[in-house]
Structure 1
């Protein structure tokens, strides 16, 4: 447990003057959360606060032999918190304000409020109404749109009357809860639509509800960021918006972030979209280009901290920086490293035999290799297949008559760790001096990669 922010119940009671004489200044209005977990395989429970639309861990409690837990929160900031068992869908959303005392029974995918505030009774009731929509997603079951859409339409029809029933003495909570109902329905509706199914509906089979989701200047109320799942909702909405574009014209990489940010009607929301998109950038130069038109939206200390940390991490991979060498075994078992090819332009293809998009690039890559034949260019294929699949890799290289230099780098190991590779295919280009040109190069299926190689060769 993070003692700087939370105390155990026993310690808190001592600190607040119970059975104590002269001591520290008491903490005002602590809140207590206690309960039991029904799943005897669970060993700990985590408490999350909400920071700019995402859940941030503030404490972890080990369960005792009765599967019980307790948290004491000194003077909590009023709002939503989450008690999590770590199981998918097992987060219990609660509402805390100073002086609250909650008792919960946490089950897989849901929770039961034993005692608590008026706000938490409203949350409990809403959680139960939402369950028929969320459980197919949590359990990844085989529900089809034919069975899901009627449930969605039924709940949508109830939301208006549900809002009218939210009448606790806490006016701030009442307004937030009414907004939260809309957010929850929209998120679960988009999650279901975008998850894999054996049968997918065509757009003309969507309920009317989906047709009103797309709006100009979406999420113009920054209060949505009080929801710990808001960042997920923003990602879902961005995907759904892209799917519904009239045309899918090719967007330059440096323009993608600005296009995404433009979907939203609130500057604080725009900033969250920016910070949660940072991992998409693999090179310093690409990040700087993408950030130029949108960086002004980062205004809080937290937003700037997250951005600057990421920028600093990528700066090591800026163009002109020395490459970090890696090695692997070629098809004959000989050790080959990136450093072996100093004096030539090196194009690295990070791929795997199980990767569909990687294999889709192969014909374009082989054509590019033919076009570059006789020039000072080395094409280095680096497979990240697992060790157990080495023979599969060898067979694939032979079957496809893959050219260039092919090496096996043993799964998530030196190569992927050095260059922070999270997804494949990833193409990287290094110049004749062994310096980085880019670790996030265009794919061979685009003309930009060939143009980049020729430009480097011209410079010599």
Structure 2
């Protein structure tokens, strides 16, 4: 995508009212997006283009005193664009732009109103209004649970085929793209809801049949998925959903994870995005390069290669032998415990939370490992990232489960998660007797590799 051709609105074109662009007709290839924001707290609007399934900022503008904004786009590349209002609730607003388009739009909470625009955007708005029935609760973290969401999803899915029949603008390219994206949007909403923390989660047996239909032996063969700004997010969600739904599959070793995720998809461009979306699972340079070697052939575009190289640079600081961050937290008595307090022993850290199902699934294996290591020069440090308001819940859980080792409370996603880029839990880390890094993305207790790693360190003394 030729991003330099997309320009933010210049000062001379900034709106001072909803009608400020009245005057000489714009050039035939100049597209203008203008509108208002209903929320008076919004001060800035950002415009995003789509680059290989991700949103890339191309312009931003301040909202004026009349809550109005505008963007001028000289000869834009036809396709989806997104408007994001800083401070606005809900997800970004998706629009369709081609050269010469004139859009007037009002951004509301959780949605938008098209005041004037192309046939494509009128069709897109009709679809988004329908989709909001299942998308709004998917992107909103509230008290909604599967008990109310699943009936909405089951009622909505059969309607999609009929909704496709009314997509009949003069633009066949757009019609085909939107009809394709309608199926993607529904899958996106369904997976997003299921993989977002809720107050109650269903068993696999309670999933509607639609969830089983999502899983395919070779997924997303059509590269048009990458024309959507949420395309990469959909790919990432599918990888996670596939692993969770198929309980018969063994969890892949970290060295095999990139290969396994690439194999889920049948389109090489989508494989490349899946790979770059999973790079965050590797916290050491050695682990990253080992896992990347079998799949590096899929990264062929400059964008893909740059994403890999940018991430590679970030993991070099977590090499084995480097000094560990001296994080700390409070134990059950309120005493402050730091990693440095445990120097002289091999330290196995478990970053977890009481609300994390996979974390709790590791506890029996962790308990067994602690028993096997009893009397040896190793200590286990549990670091809870439960929010401060849930400290009592954490204390009760630790006591009820009779958790061993040293347990400390980190009061949410604290410095340890930021320093080691922990975006998902459980995360196990191992530090040697000198307080240096051994592995900040260690195997889980449910695999024999963690015990072997500890025994190797103990043997070295």
TM-score, normalisation: structure 2:
0.81
5 Å-filtered alignment, 1:171-186, equals 171-186=172-187
- What is the match of residue 39 of structure 1? 39
- SS of match in other structure, 1:282: coil
The alpha-carbon distance between structure 1 residues 438 and 135, as it changes in their structure 2 partners (threshold 3 A), is closer
Report deviation, 1:336. 4.7
- What is the match of residue 309 of structure 2? 308
| 311-320 or 54-63, larger mean C-alpha shift | 54-63
Contact 1:325 1:337 in 2 (8 A): yes
Report deviation, 1:441. 1.6
- What is the match of residue 49 of structure 2? 49
Distance 1:382 1:238 in 2: 27
1:260 aligns with 2:261: yes
Distance 1:276 1:179 in 2: 22
- What is the match of residue 72 of structure 2? 72
5 Å-filtered alignment, 1:238-257, equals 238-243=239-244, 245=246, 247-257=248-258
- SS of match in other structure, 1:374: coil
Report deviation, 1:328. 4.6
The alpha-carbon distance between structure 1 residues 343 and 300, as it changes in their structure 2 partners (threshold 3 A), is same
Contact 1:257 1:290 in 2 (8 A): yes
- What is the match of residue 457 of structure 1? 458
Contact 1:378 1:404 in 2 (8 A): yes
| 295-304 or 264-273, larger mean C-alpha shift | 295-304
Distance 2:384 2:256 in 1: 31
Report deviation, 1:344. 3.2
- What is the match of residue 440 of structure 2? 439
Distance 2:241 2:357 in 1: 23
- SS of match in other structure, 1:81: strand
Number of positions where the alignment pairs a residue of Structure 1 with one of Structure 2? 443
Distance 1:113 1:387 in 2: 42
Contact 2:326 2:340 in 1 (8 A): yes
Contact 1:31 1:75 in 2 (8 A): yes
- What is the match of residue 121 of structure 2? 120
CA deviations over 1:57-110 (Å, ceiling 9, x no partner): 223333223221111223322211012335444533212223322111222233
Distance 1:412 1:144 in 2: 28
Distance 1:443 1:429 in 2: 11
5 Å-filtered alignment, 1:17-416, equals 29-85=29-85, 87-138=88-139, 141=144, 143-159=148-164, 161-163=165-167, 165-168=168-171, 171-191=172-192, 206=208, 213-243=214-244, 245=246, 247-328=248-329, 336-352=337-353, 357-358=358-359, 361-384=362-385, 403-416=404-417
- SS of match in other structure, 1:249: coil
Structure 2: stretches of 5+ with no match in the other structure: 15-20
CA deviations over 1:359-382 (Å, ceiling 9, x no partner): 554454344333323322233344
Contact 1:427 1:440 in 2 (8 A): yes
Report deviation, 1:340. 4.4
Distance 1:47 1:83 in 2: 5
Contact 1:152 1:189 in 2 (8 A): no
Distance 1:181 1:354 in 2: 33
The alpha-carbon distance between structure 1 residues 392 and 150, as it changes in their structure 2 partners (threshold 3 A), is closer
CA deviations over 1:174-202 (Å, ceiling 9, x no partner): 44333333333443454456665969697
Contact 1:156 1:185 in 2 (8 A): no
Distance 1:204 1:407 in 2: 35
Contact 2:351 2:382 in 1 (8 A): yes
Distance 1:149 1:393 in 2: 36
- SS of match in other structure, 2:305: helix
Q: Which entry has the higher C-alpha Rg, 1 or 2?
A: 1
Contact 1:28 1:74 in 2 (8 A): no
Report deviation, 1:450. 1.6
The alpha-carbon distance between structure 1 residues 449 and 202, as it changes in their structure 2 partners (threshold 3 A), is closer
Contact 1:264 1:270 in 2 (8 A): yes
CA deviations over 1:146-186 (Å, ceiling 9, x no partner): 34323320222442x235x2333xx5434433333333344
Contact 2:133 2:152 in 1 (8 A): no
Aligned residues: CA RMSD: 3.7
CA deviations over 1:397-439 (Å, ceiling 9, x no partner): 6676655445555544443333233334322112234332101
